[in-house]
Chain A
Amino acid sequence: MMERAQVIGSIALRNVRRQARRSILTASAIVLGIGLLMFIRALEAGAHVMYVDSATRMGTGHISIEHPDFMGSQDLVHRLAAGDIALAMQEVEGASPPGELGAVFPQVNVGGLAQTAASSIPVRISGVDPELEGEVSFFADKIVEGRYLEPGDQLEAIVGVGVAERLRVELGSRIVLMAEGTGGELESQLVIVSGLFRTGVPEVDRGVVQLTLSTAREWLELDGDATSLSVVLASDDRTGQITQEVRERMAAAGAGPDRLAIRPWWEAMPDLYAGLRADTVQTYIMLLVLLAIVALAVVNSVLMAVLNRTREFGVLRALGLNRSAVGAMVMLEGVVLTLASGVAGMLLGFAIALGLFGDGIDISGLFGEELSFAGAIVDPVVLPVVQFVDVAAIFIIVVVIGILATLYPAWHATRIEPAEAMKTDE
C-alpha cells in the first residue's frame, strides 16, 4: 500500500514537471497573483504599523490609563488621582521588559474654547509634560513654525495651523483658553503662541491646543491629578501582553478595573482599530477576487491536462489502478502545481516587499492633500512589513485554492471509463 502511494506520488510529480513546462502560463499567473497579494498585504501592514505608531504618539500611547468613566464623560470629575498616577507609573516600569518602554507621561485633556479679539472656536486642550513626552511626541516632529514646548515653559502653547488660521494668530500672539475647572466654574487661562504644528489630520490641525501640564494643572486646580496616563512602547509587538501585566499588577496593588481603565490602543481608539480591520478585510476581499481568477487558471490547466491524457488514465485503470487512485493522482498534481507556484509567488512577494522596496515606497499618490486615515497620520513613505499571520493566511489560501480548483478535474478523471478512453485519440 505504501509502495502504491509512492508510485502514484512519483508519477504525479513527474506529470507536474511535464505540465509546468506546458502550462507555464498558469504557473506564472499563480506566481504573479500570489506575489502581488503578498506585496500588497506587506505594504498595507507597513502602512498600518505607521498609522498605529503616529496615533499612539499623538497622546493616547500604546496603553492608556484613565478613570473608567472618563472616556464617556470627558468630565474632570472622572480624573486620575496623583497617588494612582505615581503607583501606575511605578507598575508600568515594573511590567515592561528592558528596552520595551518608550515613555510614560500624564496628560490633562479637556474640551474648551480658544478666544481672541477676532473670534472664538471650540478646541481640544492638552496639558503635556515636555520633559516626559517630548522625546516621543508626534507634535514635536510636526512643528512647522516656532518651537515645541520646553520644560519650564509657563504661558507658552502650540496650536495647529488650522487653529492659528481660524483665530488669525501668529507666533507671539495671545489666546485666552476657557474650560470648566474641577470646581465646576468656567476658568480662563492666557497663553502665548510659541509654535505651530501641521500633522496632516484635519481635525487635529483645526482643533488642538497644547500647553504645559504644570500650567494646565494650576489653571484647572488639579494639583498633581491628570485625566490620563499614557504609555508609549518601543514597538507594538507586546502591547497586549504588557497591558495584561499592568492590569494584574494594578489589581494586586488595590487599583482594579472599577478604579482604573487600563486599555491597549485598540480599545482606547476603537475607530482607528475598526478602520484598520475594515481596510484589511477589504484588501483580502479584493485579493480573493484576484485569486478566484488564479483558481480558474488552475482549473483550466488541470482540466486540460486531464482531458489531454484520457488514454493515459485508461491505461492506468487497465493496469489495475482503481478510480480513487486515479483521482488522488490528479489531486496531487493540481495541489503540487498550485503549491509550488504559490510558494514561488510568495517568495516573489517577499523579494519585492523586502528587497526591491525594503527602504520604503512613496504612496503619497494614493492619498490627496490630506494624509490621514481614521484619524491617524500617513507618512508618504511606507516600509513594507511581512507579518507571520499574513504568510500563514496566504499559504492556507494557496492550499485551499489548489484543492478546490483540482476537485472538479480530479472527479472528471475518476469518471473516465477505460474502455471508452482507449477509443479516443488523446
Chain B
Amino acid sequence: MTPSAEGSARNPAVEARGLWKTYGEGATAVHAVHDVSLAIERGEFVALCGPSGSGKTTLVNLIGGLTDPTRGVVEVDGDDVGAMSERARAQLRLERIGFVFQAFNLLPVLTALENAEFPLMLRGVEREERRKEVLELFEHIGLGGLEDRRPGALSGGQQQRVAVARAVLGAPALVLADEPTANLDTAASDALLDVMELLNQERQVTFIFCTHDPRVMRRARRIIRLVDGHVERDAEKEPGDLPSWVLEPVGA
C-alpha cells in the first residue's frame, strides 16, 4: 500500500497541529476552529463536546477532508488531509474513514443491506463476501431480519445503526460521528452507543463523536471540550464517569 501503511504503526489515527478554520474576513471573521492541536491514538473512543457553535462539526469535517483548513495541519494515519487533492480525499474517505451524520445518512433508494455494503461495493469486494460480512454484522448489532427494508421502513435508531455498520464496514480505521444520537430517544441512544462500543472493542475502530448529551459523554473514554473553536479541556476518564467540568458553563 501507500507509505501510510507502514506509518500507521507509529502515527496516531488523527493528529492536528496548529489547526485553524476561519470563515469570513476582517472584523466579521469567525474562527470556527481556533489553533487546535491534538492527537488521537488508534482504538480510542472519544467524545467531542462543547456548546452549540463551538466548532465540533467543523473540526470533524476538517479531519474527514470535507472542509479545507485555513491554517495548520491535520493528518489521518500520518497523511496530510489538507494537502490532498479532491480525488485523494474521496479515496481516503472511501478506504479509511466512515461518516455518521445526525440524520438522513442512508440512500432512500437502497435497502438497509445495500446501504451498509455500499462502500464495500465501491471498493470492489465480491458480492458473496460483502453480503456475508453485512449479514453477520447486522445480526451482531440487532439489525438481523431488517436487511431488505428501505430506510423509510426503519426507525431512527435502526437507521443510525445501519449508518454505523456502513461506516465500520467501509472504513475499519476511523469513524467520525457528528451528533449521531441527537434525533434518538434514550433507549435508541443507548443501543447505538452499545453498538459503537462493541465495534470499538472488537475491531479496534477509532470513534470520534460529537455530542452535547451527558448520557453519551458518560460512555466515552476521553472527552475533548471545545469552546469558541479552541480546546478548553482534554482528558481521559473511566467509562461511566462524567467529570463535572464538561457541564460547566462557558467562562466559569
Listed by A's residue number, 16 A-B pairs whose Cβ atoms lie within 8 Å are A3-B121, A4-B122, A7-B122, A18-B108, A315-B107, A316-B107, A318-B64, A319-B93, A319-B99, A320-B93, A320-B94, A321-B122, A323-B86, A417-B66, A418-B61, A422-B178
Bound CA–CA A311/B178 (angstroms) = 14
Bound CA–CA A1/B119 (angstroms) = 13
| Residue in B61, B104, B107, B108 whose CB lies within 8 Å of A419 | B61
Residue of A nearest to B100 (CB): A318
B101 touches A419 (CB 8 A): no
Interface mask (B100-122 → A, CB under 8 Å = 1, otherwise 0): 01101111111000000011011
Residue of B nearest to A423 (CB): B57
* Interface residue? A11 (CB, 8 A): yes
Q: What 18 new A-B contacts, CB under 8 Å, besides A315-B106, A318-B64?
A: A1-B124, A3-B121, A4-B122, A7-B122, A11-B107, A312-B104, A315-B105, A318-B99, A319-B94, A319-B122, A319-B170, A320-B90, A320-B93, A320-B95, A320-B122, A325-B90, A417-B66, A418-B61
Residue of A nearest to B167 (CB): A319
A320 touches B170 (CB 8 A): yes
* Interface residue? A67 (CB, 8 A): no
Secondary structure type dominating chain A contacts: helix
B109 touches A11 (CB 8 A): yes
* Interface residue? A372 (CB, 8 A): no
Bound CA–CA A275/B44 (angstroms) = 81
Closest 8 CB pairs of A and B: A320-B94, A322-B90, A14-B109, A320-B93, A318-B99, A419-B66, A3-B124, A419-B61
Bound CA–CA A322/B92 (angstroms) = 11
Known: A3-B122, A319-B119, A319-B122. A14 touches B110 (CB 8 A): yes
B109 touches A320 (CB 8 A): no
| Residue in A1, A7, A15, A17 whose CB lies within 8 Å of B118 | A7
Interface mask (A1-23 → B, CB under 8 Å = 1, otherwise 0): 10110010001001101100000
Residue of B nearest to A15 (CB): B109
Inside 8 A of A419's CB, which chain B residues have their CB? 57, 61, 66-67
Inside 8 A of B132's CB, which chain A residues have their CB? none
CB within 8 Å of A: which residues of B?
57, 61, 64, 66-67, 86-87, 90-95, 99, 101-102, 104-110, 118-119, 121-122, 124, 166, 170, 178
A318 touches B109 (CB 8 A): no
Bound CA–CA A18/B94 (angstroms) = 26
CB distance from B179 to the nearest CB of A (A): 11
B119 touches A320 (CB 8 A): yes
Bound CA–CA A356/B149 (angstroms) = 45
Inside 8 A of A7's CB, which chain B residues have their CB? 118, 121-122
A317 touches B90 (CB 8 A): yes
Residue of A nearest to B62 (CB): A419
Bound CA–CA A18/B67 (angstroms) = 31
CB-contacts of A291-342 with B (<8 A): 311-312, 315-323, 325
Inside 8 A of A18's CB, which chain B residues have their CB? 108-109
Bound CA–CA A358/B3 (angstroms) = 71
Known: A320-B119, A419-B66, A419-B67. A311 touches B109 (CB 8 A): no
CB distance from B105 to the nearest CB of A (A): 6
Bound CA–CA A418/B176 (angstroms) = 14
Inside 8 A of A418's CB, which chain B residues have their CB? 61, 66
Inside 8 A of B93's CB, which chain A residues have their CB? 318-320
Interface mask (A97-130 → B, CB under 8 Å = 1, otherwise 0): 0000000000000000000000000000000000
CB distance from B92 to the nearest CB of A (A): 8
Bound CA–CA A325/B92 (angstroms) = 15
Interface mask (A35-65 → B, CB under 8 Å = 1, otherwise 0): 0000000000000000000000000000000
B105 touches A320 (CB 8 A): no
CB distance from B70 to the nearest CB of A (A): 14
Inside 8 A of B104's CB, which chain A residues have their CB? 311-312, 315
